[in-house]
């Protein structure tokens, strides 16, 4: 019997990815979502604390792609009226 491919190997659209990501939370109450968020925050804190340099993890920011930096600069210039 053929085994289905793991989801990570299946080509999906961005919309399908988002729908799959939120499917588990669909229909949950605000209280249930708050418990999920609390559990995720607790897990992130525990994983961060296990790192050799937790401060480095907390201070990390993903670098913006060049295209995003150019777009932000253009938007700032428009805001300033240049």
Please write the tens of the pLDDT for every residue from 3-54: 777 767 778 888 988 898 888 888 999 999 999 999 999 999 999 999 999 9
What phi and psi, each to the nearest 5 degrees, are found at residue 64?
A: -75, 140
pLDDT at 34: 95
Q: How many CB atoms lie within 10 A of CB 54?
A: 13
Between CA 68 and CA 64 the distance in angstroms is 6
> What are the start-end ranges of the H helices in 1-82?
14-22, 30-49, 54-59, 66-80
Instruction: Give me the residue label for tokens 């296990």.
Output: 50
pTM: 0.52
Please write the tens of the pLDDT for every residue from 44-82: 999 999 999 999 999 999 999 999 999 999 999 998 987
């Amino acid at each position: 019997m053929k085994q289905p491919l793991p989801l990570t190997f299946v080509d999906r659209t961005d919309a399908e990815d988002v729908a799959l990501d939120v499917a588990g939370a669909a229909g949950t109450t605000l209280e249930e979502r708050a418990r999920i968020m609390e559990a995720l925050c607790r897990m992130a804190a525990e994983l961060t604390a296990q790192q050799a340099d937790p401060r480095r993890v907390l201070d990390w920011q993903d670098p913006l792609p060049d295209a995003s930096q150019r777009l932000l600069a253009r938007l700032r210039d428009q805001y300033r009226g240049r």
